[in-house]
Amino acid sequence: MTDGSERGAPAASVRRLLGTRAALWVAFVLVHALLVWLNLAAPGLPLGDVTGVYRVWAENASNGWLRMGIDAPWVYPILAFVPMAASLAFGTAWYAQAWLAIVAALDAVAFSVLLGSARLSRTRRAAAWWWLGFLVLLGPIALGRIDAVTVPIAMLGLLMAAGRPRVAAVLLTIGAWVKVWPAALVAALVIASRRRLEVVGIAAALSVGILGVSVLAGAGLNAFGFIEEQAGRGLQVEAPLAVAWLWQIVAGSPDVHVVYSQEILTFQIDGPGADAAAALTTPLMAVGVLVVVLLGVRAVRRGAVFARVLPPLALAFVVVLMLANKVGSPQFVTWLAAPVVLGLVYRPRRFAVPALIAAATALCTQIIYPYWYGWLLAADPAFVLVLSLKVALLVALLVWAVATLWQAGVRREPAPITG
């Protein structure tokens, strides 16, 4: 007969093994190998944008025909072209593999910084395991879009924000000039950091420099083309507000349809009120961002420490950008990884709930895209329900982040950084 300590010995050994750097790095390699395989072999063309759009843009520029963002307005900020062009390094035939290698390498850098060089703490170990699980739940889209380039950059910036705010400002600003969303994290850093003037100065100077290079390259006003291109979009089928119209299709409305836009290369809602809803997203986003700013400023002015403010503030900004968005593409869910990982490093118990909600959001996303995306386009009730659940989860994340920011402005006790 064995006692409890003998029975618990194997479990303790497994826990010790899973807590090692070696186990985490093995898991990192396995997860990314799985995601690479899914991108290359899974149904639904997970790499459709990379091989069908990014590669064309890169080839056109390489041949001297058309440089997006310079010779013509572009949907992305100018630095988005860097990873797209770099993926041509081994020729057009290996474009997909080169893209995936670049994203995996960026993830590896962020993962290394997350683990740190000192003794591996429990908080960083938990955050690392969560991120790997999140990537698996999210599926191939976690690597297969330009957003995947910005997530590790944003994560690096947030992880360095406490000790190296100037480096964080550089990283987050670069991320914003690849895909706009990390600009919200710059705003969060400005609000939460005591060295906010340095952060603003660095972000502004770097932005001016990037714009200056773009102008010298011949961009002119095309350097700002991404603003106009985004403004001209309709209500995309995955957008949170689109759920109301999708349920009308489910109910049999003859006036609502899902159509394909040749201009933007996306599926959009066509029906009464859809254009008005798309136009409403911009002021709605502005109001949401303003509310989050005021909550963050309130918390800081009432003495809340950096570690208590930055994670929920960053999460609130990101979720507002996702909910009040006329696009709502599945890759936007990758944005959640950066603020949630930061929260798990700083306040792991407090961030357990949003970590679970974000993971569930990732799973809902993979159920829809890429494998069964056609069912959503056909407004199949089951998949419209999954999209509705995903939107509800995002709303729950925003409610949690707003409530936590409000509480941060009430409590004054110290919350030291852990990890």
CA distances to 63, 281, 355 from 350, rounded to whole Å, are: 52, 31, 10
3-state secondary structure at position 236:
strand
Q: What's the CA angle centered on 20, arms 3 and 14, to 5 degrees? A: 25
Using only C-alpha atoms, what is the Rg of the chain?
A: 22
What pairs with residue 267 in β-bridges? 260
Token pair in block for residue 48 = 């459709």
The confidence score (pLDDT) of residue 112 equals 96
The confidence score (pLDDT) of residue 70 equals 83
Angle of helix 381-408 relative to helix 352-368, nearest 10 degrees, comes to 160
- Consecutive sets of 10 residues in the chain, 419 residues long: mean pLDDT of each? 54 68 95 97 92 94 88 89 96 97 98 89 94 98 96 97 94 96 96 94 94 82 70 84 96 92 81 92 94 96 93 97 92 97 95 97 96 94 97 98 92 49
Query: In terms of Cα–Cα distance, which of 339, 353, 345, 286 is closest to 310?
Result: 339
381 residue type, one letter: P
CA distances to 138, 184, 302, 399, 415 from 346, rounded to whole Å, are: 24, 19, 20, 20, 9
The confidence score (pLDDT) of residue 415 equals 47
The confidence score (pLDDT) of residue 221 equals 72
Domain coordinates in residue numbering, the chain = 19-408
Q: Which DSSP letter does residue 260 get? A: E
User: Which spans in 42-67 are helix H?
Assistant: 48-49, 55-62
Cut 0.85: pTM above it: yes
Work out the number of other CB atoms within 10 angstroms of the CB of residue 350: 18
Token pair in block for residue 293 = 């700013």
* SS3 per residue for 289-349: HHHHHHHHHHHHHCCCCHHHHHHHHHHHHHHHHHHCCCCCCHHHHHHHHHHHHHHHHHCCC
